[in-house]
A and B are shown apart, each in its own frame.
Chain A
Amino acid sequence: MPNAAVKACSNCLVHAPEMAERYGNTPYMERLSHPGSEFLAALPKAGQSYEEACRYAPNLTFIGALSVDGLPARPQPWLRNLEPEAVRDGRFGEIMPEDEFLGLMDFCDVFDLIWLSLDFAAGVKGKLKARNFWSPEQLARLEKGRPLAEIEAECREQHALPLYFGGRVVGCCRRGHETDENLSAHVLLENIASKATSILAMMHLLRNSGLPPGEIDFVVECSEEAIGDMNQRGGGNLAKAVAEIAGCRNASGFDVRAFCAGPTAALITAASMVAAGARKNVVVVAGGAVPKLYMNARDHVKKGLPALENVLGSMAVLLTEDDGESPVIRLDSLGKHTVGAGASPQAVTTALAWEPLEKLGLKLTDVDKYAPELHNPEVTVPAGAGNVPEANYKMIAALGVMKKQLERGDIEGFVKERGLTGFAPTQGHIPSGVPYMGHALEEMKAGRLKRIMVIGKGSLFLGRLTNLADGASFLMEKMAGGAGQAAAVTTRDVEEVVLEALGDLAAALNR
């Protein structure tokens, strides 16, 4: 069965504490219900600076400036033991500061929704240009800005939301319609932020792969935003909007939604299209979620910790036809959680981890590393959500004991050997296994890793339409010795070889 090659990956972060403080859902709702609360008063002092975010080990691991294997050995807690030097650029992407991000949002906006002040726009244009990363066409999209008084009036009289940097208003996000709540400034701010962070990941992916934008055939976007108006809430195609600004003129696209399992589902969809020969070069991309910024900050602040959920995450993966050399996404055995599978952790783990391996005659120990939701435990543990990746590994190992593939005493070793330390921000779909693919790609190319399993899980109950559990999984693998090409041999190829042999035999008999 043909597979799809994993050609390149990118992971990016945007440091956005001021957006978090105003428009992260937890502080936003708190401001509406308890505007004078102690939490809101303490929050501005609890933030991490940009320099601190660039020295925070999980962030550096995410962008590929630290190895995943090296992360557990870094002095902990990481938030109190920042790395000696601030690093902006890693092998997979960058940590972008908030002022540049506001500039990026402006040039990603095609409906004049983002307004920046004159002086701020001029300053940020210089910073973006100095990066030598953005194309002249992209930079030319950044508007010269407007007088601050116009921005303040738009906020005061037209329901625009102010955008802040350095504690002062430097712009605003306008509404897209006078009465449609789906096009309110708040919704559009989230959607434009998701689009902008997707474009950041897409541009880093193009740089990492060396592929010109015009070579991309198709884009599959898989964040958790709903793009549309009151008549088609969630109508979509953020993918094409991203491709447009990224300069992918020959690409089309669509969106895949499955809550936090979206990226896994999107990669399976994209890989299937590539393997079938329907599309050649396909990008799977996901942007960040503004509402999830500072989501657990109440607990962090209460415990005297920095509010760590200050970064928007984004990621992209390039899939191309199987060249027999690159690691592939195997399509001959995919994990799926069926309607009838059940919601217990045991049932979910069986469906996603056990069944796809059993189908291939493989054991749980035939997977070198498992990549389930890779949430940074320094964010989730103080908030009472536990160490998410570790809980997943313990469940997989326990299943191995039940299936008699592991001894009870092997559980700890299994977790240590085949697990990963969480390094991803709590951005919903972003941590769902996929940020490990860049690391795995490097390790597989170096011959240090053979097979990983990426596992995504979705919280469907959040939409109030079903209580079913959900998830998807796939194996990413470096096939042995050109197995990818061998897998592509067709019945027709075999027939031709047999006919040629018979022809040789007939010729020999005639002699």
Chain B
Amino acid sequence: MGKMEGKKLLLLGERDGVPSPAMEAVFKNSGGEVVFSATECFV
């Protein structure tokens, strides 16, 4: 069982920080459910 088992995850990425696909990869085997994932660009 992963650390995030039963949790729902909202992933908000930033282009020059950590983009959401990178976060999705990190949480892939965490047991959490990614319900929203997006990257934004403020520049």
> Which chain A residues have a beta carbon within 8 Å of chain B's beta carbons?
260, 295-296, 342-345, 347, 373, 375, 380, 383-386, 388, 391-392, 426, 428, 431, 457, 459, 461-462, 467, 469
Contact = CB atoms under 8 A, between A and B. Distances in A.
B15 interface: yes
B43 A380 contact: yes
B22 A344 contact: yes
B21 A373 contact: no
A425 to B, nearest CB: 10
B43 to A, nearest CB: 5
Contact of A457 (B15, B22, B25, B39): B15
A388 B22 contact: no
A461 B18 CA distance: 14
A212 B42 CA distance: 39
Contacts, number: 55
Contacts of B35: none
User: For the complex, would chain B's binding face be called helix, strand, loop or mixed by DSSP majority?
Assistant: loop
Contact of A344 (B16, B25, B39, B43): B25
A345 B22 contact: yes
A345 B18 CA distance: 6
11 contacts: A343-B19, A343-B21, A345-B22, A373-B16, A385-B16, A385-B42, A388-B16, A426-B43, A457-B16, A461-B19, A461-B41
Contacts of B19: 343-344, 461, 469
Interface in B1-41: 14-22, 25, 39, 41
Contact of A385 (B20, B22, B39, B43): B43
Contacts of B25: 342-344
B25 to A, nearest CB: 7
A459 B15 contact: yes
B39 A461 contact: yes
A462 B21 contact: no
A375 B18 CA distance: 18
Contact of A467 (B17, B18, B21, B42): B21
